[in-house]
Amino acid sequence: MEENKTSLSDTDFNKLASFIYTNYGIKLPITKKIMLESRLRPRLRINNMESYREYCQYVLSGKCSESEIVNMIDLVSTNKTDFYRESAHFDFMLDVVLPEYYENNSEKTFKVWSSASSSGEESYTIAIVISEFMEGKRPFDFHILGTDISTRIIEKASLAVYPLDRVDVIPLAQKKKYLLRGKDLENPTVRIVPELRSKTLFKRLNLMDNSYDVPKDFDLIFCRNVLIYFDRETQENVINKLCNQLKKGGYLFLGHSESISGYDVPLKQIKPTMYQKI
Ligand SMILES: C[S@@+](CC[C@H](N)C(=O)[O-])C[C@H]1O[C@@H](n2cnc3c(N)ncnc32)[C@H](O)[C@@H]1O
């Protein structure tokens, strides 16, 4: 396509897409060009740039600020998530993972990592499930780390405020225990109770990094609905790096359409999308 100040050329799209894929693992096929163009438009204005060409050259120059890269990645990541999404994992936590931990290790903190946490629904569902399991039992300590590439989404997760309709799926009895109603009646929201928020921590982490600056002794890692963006080799690398942070006997959960079949990784399959470190 002819270079034009107000549109993103195929050449510049391909350069940006390749940069994003190499460094962040996010695939952007050419069909996403219009989406990228419209999402980047405000970044041109904010950076006082007149054309997509100028923006593209800036990003690829090696002199681009880290914050601009972070902003750009925020715009291209897909953050769809839900409370109790793919609920078989939470059933398995209640039926197997938590009872095993409770029998054998409950003097140690139960540690979970939600490694593509998006806006926090996954982490808070985990916190609710653990709290429900603990009811009527000897209390134990637990901690949930949520990480994501997108800083915007990490801020949302830390805030823990959700529109009322997002929590429909949470059973009423749990809503009463773990959610607080906001005061704004026009835009009804809920906030996760401080007791659960204090058990979580959110920070930015790129799964494409060579190693992960997180604890090495997780009991359980969720890596759901993010591997689909990566190619096979990257998926295998990411899984191996996750396994380095998982206790022997610890569990790894993947998303419903993700699998490690044929990968050279220290895991045995327990159920579809559920694995245990060997
Ligand atoms: C579709 S959401 C999945 C959220 C949640 N795990 C679930 O299953 O509901 C995928 C998340 O992966 C994040 N992501 C994409 N690439 C990433 C990377 N390289 N490192 C860390 N997070 C990444 C996105 O920002 C997004 O929030």
Ligand 1 neighbourhood includes 26 CB (under 6 angstroms): yes
* Pairing mode of beta strands 200-204, 218-223: unpaired
> Which of 21, 226, 231, 241 has the most ligand 1 atoms within 8 A of CB, as the residue to mutate?
226
Helix (H) or strand (E) segment spanning residue 174: helix 172-178
Residue 147, token pair as written in the block: 């990480």
Please answer whether residues 111 and 217 qualify as being in contact, where contact means their C-beta atoms are separated by less than 8 angstroms.
yes
What confidence tier does 3 reach under pLDDT thresholds 50, 70, 90?
A: low
pLDDT of 1 reads 45
The pLDDT tens digits for 119-172 are 999 999 999 999 999 999 999 999 999 999 999 999 999 999 999 999 999 999
CA pair distance 237, 226, nearest whole angstrom: 13
pLDDT of 67 reads 87
| Residue 149 alpha carbon to ligand 1 centre in Å | 7
Q: Which atom of ligand 1 is closest in space to residue 73's alpha carbon?
A: 25
Which of 39, 53, 197, 204 is flagged as catalytic?
A: 39
- Cα-based distances in Å from 187 to 156, 162, 252: 16, 10, 37
What confidence tier does 6 reach under pLDDT thresholds 50, 70, 90?
A: confident
pLDDT of 111 reads 98
Question: Across the chain, where does the E strand assignment appear?
Answer: 110-114, 142-148, 161-163, 179-181, 189-192, 200-204, 218-223, 246-254, 267-271, 274-277
CA pair distance 196, 127, nearest whole angstrom: 6
CA pair distance 21, 174, nearest whole angstrom: 40
Ligand 1 neighbourhood includes 105 CB (under 6 angstroms): no
Least confident of 9-13, 75-79, 136-140: 75-79
* Pairing mode of beta strands 189-192, 179-181: antiparallel
| Residue 85 alpha carbon to ligand 1 centre in Å | 14
CA pair distance 177, 133, nearest whole angstrom: 14
User: Would residue 39 show up in a list of annotated catalytic residues for this protein?
Assistant: yes
Domains along the chain?
10-76 (1.10.155.10), 88-277 (3.40.50.150)
Model's pTM, two decimal places? 0.91
| Average pLDDT over every residue of 96-125 | 96
Q: What is the mean pLDDT of the chain?
A: 94
Which residues make beta-bridge pairs with 254?
Answer: 223
User: Would residue 219 show up in a list of annotated catalytic residues for this protein?
Assistant: no
| Average pLDDT over every residue of 95-120 | 95
Ligand 1 neighbourhood includes 267 CB (under 6 angstroms): no
Q: Which atom of ligand 1 is closest in space to residue 223's alpha carbon?
A: 6
User: Environment class of residue 160 by beta-carbon count within 10 Å: exposed (0-12), middle (13-18) or buried (19+)?
Assistant: buried
The pLDDT tens digits for 21-63 are 998 888 899 999 999 999 999 999 999 999 999 999 999 998 9
| Average pLDDT over every residue of 229-250 | 94
CA pair distance 146, 254, nearest whole angstrom: 15
| Average pLDDT over every residue of 199-215 | 96
What confidence tier does 229 reach under pLDDT thresholds 50, 70, 90?
A: confident
